[in-house]
A and B are shown apart, each in its own frame.
Chain A
Amino acid sequence: MNAIAPLGVQAAAAFSDYRAGDRERLRDLVALLTPLLWHTARSQRAPQQVAEDAIQTAWLRLVDGADTITDPRGVVSWLVITVKRETWRLLRLAGRETVPDAGVPEAVDLTTPEDEAIQTDQQRVLWRHVSELSERCRALLRVIAFAATPDYAGVADTLGMPVGSIGPTRGRCLAKLRTALLSDPSWEA
């Protein structure tokens, strides 16, 4: 798996190529980062439409202001932050005006272990332990999971993950989940 470059590195390369005039690389960047951005927005309790709008807006702003990002390595952080802020803005807006469903987030977070989407026992065990974490921890881990291996250094700070002097540390949320899983005999990852 070492052949796969870290997300931040792949993103920086695609973004640099795009700025140098290779339009196709923008599509690569969109394909690469949209899952992360989707789960960033959804972890903030955004309904599907809000999440989509926030992500679209972030991409449009990136294209608009592509030259203002001085370091291509910052593109992932920039997008994550922009999606978060835009999600919050849209949610506030929806809360003020009486948009249907305002304040009633879709039940992403309330999925029960019986949910048919959860297929394996492994996933059921994982979900049970994840559900016992605080909402803040669930949101954090959900996003970090999509920042993906093998290193998080580029985005860890943005994602709210502690970064020690030599790299991102596990942090309290992941440490809690890990301890819970490893002490559960039905978890055998």
Chain B
Amino acid sequence: MADELIPGADELLDATDERILTHLATLYTRIDPVPADLLERIDFRLAVAELEADIAELTRGELVGVRGEETDSVTFTSGSLSLMVTTVVSAHRARIDGWVTSPGAEVDAVAEGVTRSVVADDDGRFSLDDVPRGHVHFVVRRDGYRPVITPSMEI
């Protein structure tokens, strides 16, 4: 690269430069936006890595586009563990009723910015109130097993 002389190259950045760069960022955001669900996928991969968790598979129901008031139940399975959840939503919040095949297991609902935890009762039933709507995934912890993490679903 030849060292061409460019006027102003050695000057400090000023407000005009800042404006140009801001416009440039806006332009590239339009031309080549970050894929909509990339953040979600990164968060999920990191959660799995951090927890050294097993990943449960969706075995029944839909993960996206659930916009009705009450969803059909969604079931996740990992090995011998199954987790079934049903959500009832209001404007911004949701209640999640669930059942897990391991009584006494701790169930976390991880939503954007908040985690709600509950311990399943002797029948494996649990209920979580006041979960913000949006993406949520679940983490189930049992003594003697690795945590199980579910893919995230939209509520």
B32 touches A39 (CB 8 A): yes
Q: Interface majority SS on B: helix, strand, loop or mixed?
A: helix
B16 touches A178 (CB 8 A): yes
B42 touches A176 (CB 8 A): no
A164–B18 Cα gap in the complex (Å)? Answer: 17
B23 touches A189 (CB 8 A): yes
> What residues of chain A lie closer than 8 Å to B19, measured between beta carbons?
189
A34 touches B42 (CB 8 A): yes
Among A9-17, A87-95, A147-155, the one that faces the other chain is: A147-155
Q: A53-78 toward B: CB 8 Å interface, digit per residue (1/0)?
A: 00110011001100000000000000
B9 touches A130 (CB 8 A): no
Question: Which residue of the partner chain, among A60, A123, A162, contacts B27 with CB atoms under 8 Å?
Answer: A123
B13 touches A63 (CB 8 A): no
Residue B30 at the A interface, CB < 8 A? Answer: yes
**Closest A residue by C-beta to B22:** A149
Residue B66 at the A interface, CB < 8 A? Answer: no
Given contacts A126-B27, A175-B6, are A30 and B21 in contact (CB under 8 A)?
A: no
Interface residues on A, range: 35 or more
Residue A145 at the B interface, CB < 8 A? Answer: yes
Residue B144 at the A interface, CB < 8 A? Answer: no
> What residues of chain A lie closer than 8 Å to B9, measured between beta carbons?
162, 169-172, 175
A51–B63 Cα gap in the complex (Å)? Answer: 25
Binding site for B on A (CB under 8 A): 23-24, 26-27, 30-31, 34-35, 38-39, 42, 48, 52, 55-56, 59-60, 63-64, 108, 111, 115, 117-119, 122-123, 126-127, 130, 136, 141-142, 144-146, 148-150, 152, 162, 164, 166-172, 174-179, 181-182, 189
10 A-B Cβ contacts within 8 A? A56-B45, A63-B50, A111-B31, A123-B26, A144-B21, A149-B21, A170-B12, A170-B17, A171-B9, A179-B7
Binding site for A on B (CB under 8 A): 1, 4, 6-13, 16-32, 34-35, 38-39, 41-43, 45-46, 49-50, 112-113, 115
